[in-house]
Amino acid sequence: MSGAKSGAAALRSGFGSTRDLLPRWAWILIFLALALLFPYVVPEILSGGSGDDLLDASVNTLGYVIMALGLNIVVGFAGLLDLGYVAFYAFGAFVVGWLGSGQFEGVNLDFITDVPSTLPGIHVNFVVIVIVAAAFTGIWGVILGAPTLRLRGDYLAIVTLAFGEIVPRVFENWEYVSNGRQGITPIDRVYFPGVGELNYPIELEGIYYVGLAMVLITLFVNIRMRDSRLGRAWIAVREDEVAAAAMGVNLVRTKLWAYAVGAAFGGFAGAFLGAYRNTVNVDQFEFGFSVFILCMIIVGGMGNVAGVILGAIALSMLDRFVLPQLNDIPDKIGLSFDLTAVNFGIFGFFLLVMMVLRPEGFIPSTRRRLELHSGDEVGDAAADRSAEVAPGEALYEARH
Amino acid sequence: MSADGNGTLLEASHVTKTFGGLVAVNDVSFTVPRGAIVSIIGPNGAGKTTFFNMLTGLYKPTTGQVSFEGRNITGKPPHEITHAGIARTFQNIKLFRTMTAVENVQVGMQSRLKSGVVASILHWPTQRREEKMTIDKARELLDFVGLRRHYELSANLPYGDQRRLEIARALGSDPKLLLLDEPTAGMNAQESEELRGLMETLRVERGVSVLLIEHDMRVVMNVSDHITVLDYGEKIAEGKPEEVRTDKSVIEAYLGSQA
Amino acid sequence: MGRRVATALWQNILWIGLSAWVLYYLVQSPTETLGDIKTGFSNGTIWALIALGYTLVYGIIELINFAHGEVFMIGSFVAVSIWAWLGISSRSSTLVIIAGIGGVLVVSMLASGSLNVMIERVAYRPLRNAPKLAPLITAIGMSFILQNVGSLWYGLPQQVPDLIGSQRTLFSLLGVDVVRSDVFAIAVTLPLLFALIFFIGQTRYGKAMRATAQDPDAARLMGINVDRTIALTFLIGGLLAGAAGLIYALYNGTVRFNQGFTAGLIAFTAAVMGGIGNLKGAVAGGLIIGVVQSISDDQYGQQWTEAVVFAILIMIMVFRPEGLFGEEVRPG
């Protein structure tokens, strides 16, 4: 066991020291620049099909990043284990299905789009759709969250899982709103007056930047909330509900806000992905997806915004590019089974290993590390934080 | 402002708590006057913390009533009671371990902060000012209780500082009544004395009344205006320190009856 | 006085609602519903066996064994595979069939039992002191891995040979045909239940399990090997799930690699309904859920049943998390 222990310890310290190489704002600038230049850098490096592939994966990744940040509020900040996040994805996607397609043929509504006004169905501008999707899903977050308020841990997880199963099931059987197993397609193209319709999937730059803008909005809201009175309330509730309540935190309101905001981001991204993929279909909404997003924040480091983003990018790319590559391996070593079928099994294995060796994720918040390794050396956590002591403040009070 | 003018801050009347077949607190009536420091003592298991928990909304009394400043607070949820002006510390320290000292106190101020969600997101000047105010006030409270390492993770603080932090955090809500559950547990004589001084300062400088559960008799006898003694969930004696100290039933409860 | 009645009504609203629901259909279409109740009971034995596994494990380490559904699925698969391997089919001689079922029952149970023990060792034990999120995640991971193993084993729904002539009517009761598979389900489950009751109540291993469930530290001080007792609990849970797997295979006629996911959630609902940690509750819950499922299948169509069961789960959690026989879990 000692070999595993020291290996785990090595893992733990590795990423921490890389982070300290540059001040925080430098990292932010670097990543922002990378993100902005990305669509133009890609065709330089990868020609033809694979460049488009990467861009396509990136657009999807942007959607997942938003969802990971949303789930991070519920699970990472407030400590509410939600295994049914896919339901919010579904809500958001169906909103774009309802407000941006020919689904409701009886109605004829047109709002800041460039579809011909004779086209049946509701066609509303994408920006409006996305806002409506966020609000709608946020409300559902409260509705689905309300029954779970008194539940803890495992029970909470199972009930949210049940909701995550029920919602797609209901959509599936309610043909009028979902078009059953066929799904809703096509979805209107994203349109901005002055810019015109975005031409994805042929040209991906436009939609990429829309996605990036949405990510930046999400990030902004996330960080603002984290550093506010509500954010502190969330963390307090996660740490110790009883103490939090005794300190004046309204448990019900605080938890419902977490669900509302987390869900809203799910719907926000769901609408984006629905539009990008040009189709909304219940097959897209499975329990595995909830786990996929949960994985991202676990791998990246729960509660830590930067870690969550990196986790989302890493897992999305892994799922898209690495796992299919593994298909070649059995051939090469002489076995004859197909590894594509093993995708989620590999995820499962990954989860297992992760939780046993480094449950706080690769770039954990100091909090998380403290929580999960309270038996181990707490020294490095303290050293980390001491750099943030206000100037002029005595670091150690020589009394004891 | 209080509806009753007679200076009673908190009144518990005929409060009983049963858990299934177990009677933890039995028909206890009790008042805390304004500007007073009052103690509850009794052997272990006497029901003191259960009583506290009923005062602060963690438990609902099976029967009986609790009123604060004339208003009925029986069975109200903890955050409402804190909002009304009662704050507490815990017997087993319940700090938010992964938050710093300042952050812990900031949470203590929850009920007094007004910024809404939208204001927080948009970072309006009012919200910005309020946040700055919370930090300043948190640090002031930490200084008040004698805690210097403001930005230390609360989990890393030494025991005595953790107890102090709990008090600072409770003070964050500007309470009129502070409930302290065994605040000097694990402290040495000097620290206990400092705490006693802190309670006096609270009463005198900030007009905060204190209700104390305590085992350290020196502290209890020196600081209390009034002492109530519980044993097996019942009130067996009350009065001024000198009275209680010599009360036969109290001595028996603590030492066991000498047949 | 009126207040007491009102509170009692509110707390039992679930049972009242469910009974009213069943009664309604009983009155509306008696024979059909009676048939559903019969099928429900038979199905219910499967859920009861799986639910027992959940409840035993939760009782002892307060953890939901998320991978338990897959343990059940593997039990089914082992049974089907061995029958295929040995070439046992409905045309084999009665003796061969009886031996085939009996022997394979034992093997399935052992396979599931050891799998469950392995899961505990690998996914739960290293995380015993971690916050509850961690073992739940590893359990999900385990569940995924096992489902994948299942999909590699039988990627498509696999037919099960009809070894017991499952649809042959044996007798009629109240106008309802009781078929062979109903009797088979009961015939396998009842002895297992008796064995379980005896084991938990009368043997010292059972006593160790009960002691550890009540207070692991005290149990340790009494000299009980807590690790081994926990492993034993997982073993028993797995054995029962394996039996359920075999019954399911013969009763249902097909097995598929994702049967564990749905079965797991349904059986978990049953365990919660009965009161998690409570053995007779798990059995009662299993039977009740079985009946609900059957009636729902008939009246609303199979596509809605899953949603119905989950809705019930949510309602239990909201209105009566302690279930039928559990203790009050609400705070103060």
Domains of chain A are 60-373 (1.10.3470)
Tell me what pLDDT residue B66 has. 94
Cβ–Cβ gap C64/A157 under 8 Å: yes
Q: Does A87 touch chain B (CB under 8 A)?
A: no
Q: Mean pLDDT over residues A173-182, rounded?
A: 85
Tell me what pLDDT residue C43 has. 92
How would DSSP label each residue in C222-290? Answer: TT--HHHHHHHHHHHHHHHHHHHHHHHHHHHSEE-TTHHHHHHHHHHHHHHHH-TT-HHHHHHHHHHHH
C-alpha distances in Å from residue B84, one per residue of A117, B51, B62, B73, B107: 59, 18, 22, 9, 16
CA-nearest residue of chain B to C331? B59
Q: Does C306 touch chain A (CB under 8 A)?
A: yes
Q: If you average pLDDT over every residue of chain A, what do you get?
A: 79
C17 domain-assigned: no
Among B18-22, C4-8, C20-24, C63-67, the least confident range: C4-8
Tell me what pLDDT residue B107 has. 95
- The alpha-carbon gap from B227 to the nearest alpha carbon of chain C, in Å, equals 27
Beta-bridge partners for B238: B228
Q: Mean pLDDT over residues B174-188, rounded?
A: 91
Cβ–Cβ gap C126/A150 under 8 Å: no
- The alpha-carbon gap from A224 to the nearest alpha carbon of chain B, in Å, equals 5
pLDDT tens digits along A323-339: 766 655 555 554 444 54
Cis peptide before A186 (omega within 30 of 0): yes
Tell me which of A77, A241, A247 to substitute to probe the interface with B (most B C-beta atoms closer than 10 Å). A247
C304 domain-assigned: yes
C-alpha distances in Å from residue A389, one per residue of B149, B151, C30: 8, 5, 75
Write down how long chain B is. Answer: 259
Tell me what pLDDT residue B94 has. 94
Dihedral angle sign, alpha carbons of residues B83, B84, B85, B86: negative
**What is the distance between the alpha carbons of residues A154 and B76, in angstroms, rounded to a whole number?**
28
Six token digits for residue A324: 């299919």
Among B51-60, B242-251, C252-261, C278-287, the least confident range: B242-251
For the cut 60, the answer to whether the pLDDT of residue C291 exceeds it is yes
pLDDT tens digits along A298-318: 888 777 898 899 999 998 988
Q: Is C156 exposed, middle or buried (0-12, 13-18, 19+ CB in 10 A)?
A: exposed
For the cut 90, the answer to whether the pLDDT of residue C252 exceeds it is no
Q: Is A384 exposed, middle or buried (0-12, 13-18, 19+ CB in 10 A)?
A: middle
Among A51-65, A106-120, A242-256, the least confident range: A106-120
C14 domain-assigned: no
**What is the distance between the alpha carbons of residues C314 and A159, in angstroms, rounded to a whole number?**
6
Cβ–Cβ gap A165/C310 under 8 Å: yes
Q: Which residues of A touch C63 (CB under 8 A)?
A: 154
Residues 6+ apart with CB under 8 A from B200: B37, B223
- The alpha-carbon gap from B114 to the nearest alpha carbon of chain A, in Å, equals 9
C-alpha distances in Å from residue A365, one per residue of A1, A68, A232, A317, B156: 26, 16, 15, 23, 16
Cβ–Cβ gap A372/C303 under 8 Å: no
C11 domain-assigned: no
**What is the distance between the alpha carbons of residues A25 and C210, in angstroms, rounded to a whole number?**
57
**What is the distance between the alpha carbons of residues B54 and B48, in angstroms, rounded to a whole number?**
10
CB B254 within 8 Å of CB B43: yes
- The alpha-carbon gap from C187 to the nearest alpha carbon of chain A, in Å, equals 32
Nearest CA to A356 out of B37, C129, B230, C37 is that of C129
Tell me what pLDDT residue A379 has. 34
Tell me what pLDDT residue C138 has. 86
Q: Which of the other chains make 3 or more beta carbon contacts under 8 angstroms with chain B?
A: A, C
Q: Which residues of A touch B117 (CB under 8 A)?
A: 225, 228, 230, 257
Tell me what pLDDT residue C263 has. 93
**What is the distance between the alpha carbons of residues A41 and B81, in angstroms, rounded to a whole number?**
59
Q: Does C198 touch chain A (CB under 8 A)?
A: no
Cβ–Cβ gap A372/C131 under 8 Å: yes
Chain centroid to Cα A7, Å, comes to: 29
CB A204 within 8 Å of CB A59: yes
pLDDT band at B168 (very low <50, low <70, confident <90, very high): very high
**What is the distance between the alpha carbons of residues A199 and A186, in angstroms, rounded to a whole number?**
14
Q: Output the CA torsion B205→B208→B211→B216 (10° steps).
A: -20
For the cut 50, the answer to whether the pLDDT of residue A4 exceeds it is no
Residues 6+ apart with CB under 8 A from A28: none
Tell me which of C144, C257, C269 to substitute to probe the interface with A (most A C-beta atoms closer than 10 Å). C144
Nearest CA to A300 out of A292, A285, A309, A311 is that of A311
pLDDT tens digits along A5-40: 444 444 444 555 566 667 778 888 888 888 888 888
What is the extent of the structural domain holding C253?
29-319
Strand runs labelled E in A186-298:
191-192, 196-197
**What is the distance between the alpha carbons of residues C51 and C57, in angstroms, rounded to a whole number?**
10
**What is the distance between the alpha carbons of residues A129 and A100, in angstroms, rounded to a whole number?**
8
Amino acid at B161: D
pLDDT band at C96 (very low <50, low <70, confident <90, very high): confident
Q: Does A235 touch chain B (CB under 8 A)?
A: yes
**What is the distance between the alpha carbons of residues B17 and B62, in angstroms, rounded to a whole number?**
5
The more confidently predicted of residues A340 and A376 is A340
Q: Residues of C numbered 47-106 whose beta carbons fall under 8 angstroms of chain B's beta carbons: which are they?
A: none
B107, B152, B153: residue with CB nearest A249? B107
C213 domain-assigned: yes
ipTM of the modeled complex: 0.91
pLDDT tens digits along B232-246: 888 888 999 988 888
The more confidently predicted of residues A94 and A192 is A94
The more confidently predicted of residues A333 and C255 is C255
Angle between helices A379-386 and A2-19 (to 10 degrees): 0
Cβ–Cβ gap A239/B173 under 8 Å: no
Strand runs labelled E in B20-104:
22-33, 37-41, 63-68, 71-72, 86-88
Q: Does C131 touch chain A (CB under 8 A)?
A: yes
Report, in angstroms and rounded to the nearest whole number, the Rg of chain C calculated over CA atoms: 20
Tell me what pLDDT residue A180 has. 82
Tell me what pLDDT residue C30 has. 86
C9 domain-assigned: no
- C13 Rama sector, left if φ>0, alpha if ψ -120 to 50, beta otherwise: alpha
Total number of domains constituting chain C: 1
The structural domains of chain B, ordered by start, are 1-85+175-259 (3.40.50.300), 98-172 (no CATH)
At residue B160's C-alpha, the angle toward residues B156 and B164, to 5°, is 95
Maximum distance among all Cα pairs of chain C, rounded to whole angstroms: 68
C-alpha distances in Å from residue C43, one per residue of B141, C48, C252: 64, 9, 9
Helix (H) or strand (E) holding A335: none
CATH of the domain at C123: 1.10.3470
C-alpha distances in Å from residue C265, one per residue of C69, C306, C316: 8, 9, 14
Q: What is the pTM of this model?
A: 0.86
For the cut 70, the answer to whether the pLDDT of residue A361 exceeds it is no
Matching residue, tokens 């019954």: C247
Q: Mean pLDDT over residues B58-69, rounded?
A: 92
Q: Does A368 touch chain B (CB under 8 A)?
A: yes
Residues 6+ apart with CB under 8 A from B28: B12, B14, B15, B16, B47, B51, B64, B230, B233, B234, B235
**What is the distance between the alpha carbons of residues A142 and B179, in angstroms, rounded to a whole number?**
34
Q: Which residues of B touch A388 (CB under 8 A)?
A: 151
pLDDT tens digits along B190-215: 888 888 899 999 999 988 999 999 88
Q: Which of the other chains make 3 or more beta carbon contacts under 8 angstroms with chain A?
A: B, C
pLDDT tens digits along A31-63: 888 888 888 877 777 666 677 788 888 999 999
Tell me which of A219, A229, A365 to substitute to probe the interface with B (most B C-beta atoms closer than 10 Å). A229
- The alpha-carbon gap from A56 to the nearest alpha carbon of chain C, in Å, equals 27
A155, A298, A344: residue with CB nearest C148? A344
Q: Does A229 touch chain B (CB under 8 A)?
A: yes
Matching residue, tokens 């024979």: C31
Tell me what pLDDT residue A50 has. 73
At residue C65's C-alpha, the angle toward residues C59 and C70, to 5°, is 140
Six token digits for residue A362: 């690769």
Q: Which residues of B touch A370 (CB under 8 A)?
A: 97-98, 153, 155
Matching residue, tokens 């938990």: C200
Q: Which of the other chains make 3 or more beta carbon contacts under 8 angstroms with chain C?
A: A, B
CB A196 within 8 Å of CB A207: no
C190 domain-assigned: yes
Q: Mean pLDDT over residues C104-124, rounded?
A: 95
Matching residue, tokens 């694990």: B186
Tell me what pLDDT residue A140 has. 97
- The alpha-carbon gap from B134 to the nearest alpha carbon of chain A, in Å, equals 10
Six token digits for residue C3: 């207040």
Tell me what pLDDT residue C98 has. 87
CA-nearest residue of chain C to B75? C332
Cβ–Cβ gap A356/C127 under 8 Å: yes
Tell me what pLDDT residue A375 has. 41
Beta-bridge partners for B33: B8
Tell me what pLDDT residue C104 has. 93
C12 domain-assigned: no
Neighbours of A399 (CB within 10 A): 11
